[in-house]
Structure 1
Amino acid sequence: MADQEASGENKPQPKQEGQVINLIVKDQQGSEVHFKVKSHTKLEKVMKAYCDKKAIEQTAVRFVFDGQRVNPQSTPQNLGMEDGDIIDCFMEQIGGSS
């Protein structure tokens, strides 16, 4: 038993689900806002914080990651986000037909 303790086999492994990653939200003008979030945090928290910082309504913008619109209930872990990934923020456009 002393051999197991000396080799560190009984030590618990750190959990990966609480891992903190850096995400960047980038708007159409190229302005970036950096966020540190846990990989299991809902992205709606990032979206709200971004909109509050920029003083814009959440309904006026769309968030896109890897070409797909981001669901506010998704987490970085669900979307396979890694440290330093960029979420694009676009102004909502209405219309387009004549």
Structure 2
Amino acid sequence: MSNDASPNHMPPPADAPLLGHINIKLTDNNNELFFKVKPTTPFGKVMETFCKRQGKDLKSVRFLFEGQRIRKEDTCETLDVQDGDAIEVHQEQLGGT
């Protein structure tokens, strides 16, 4: 019997995504942060983490996916976010005439 590893029993590559997780990028045009989330994780957790790491107030920014504003209760499943998609982060603008 040989001690060689069988190709059927090789571990997945280190850069392979975890089953059930989605890699997303959040960008505010100056910075990019990458997150690995479950499809059912509420975006509120991701939004809070992004703001904490960037020193921003959650009330002062808005998050958009394909032009649609993301709510805290939205998930990758509800918005059909796929692995590798980008979320845009913009400064909230109030006022106007």
Instruction: Tell me if both proteins adopt one fold, taking TM over 0.5 as the criterion.
Output: yes
**Counterpart for residue 24 of structure 2:** 23
Counterpart Cα distance in 2 of 1:22 and 1:81: 10
Gaps of 5+ in 2: 1-18
Task: Give the superposition deviation at 1:28.
Answer: 3.3
- CA RMSD, aligned part only? 1.1
Counterpart Cα distance in 1 of 2:60 and 2:77: 26
Gaps of 5+ in 1: 1-17
Task: Give the superposition deviation at 1:58.
Answer: 0.2
Aligned residues: 79
Counterpart Cα distance in 2 of 1:38 and 1:64: 19
Q: How does 1:73-92 map to 2 (within 5 A)?
A: 73-92=73-92
When normalised by structure 2's length, the TM-score is: 0.77
Whichever of the two has the greater Rg, that structure is: 1
**Identity rate of aligned residues, in percent?**
38
Q: How does 1:37-76 map to 2 (within 5 A)?
A: 37-76=37-76
- Runs ≥4 residues deviating over 4 A: none
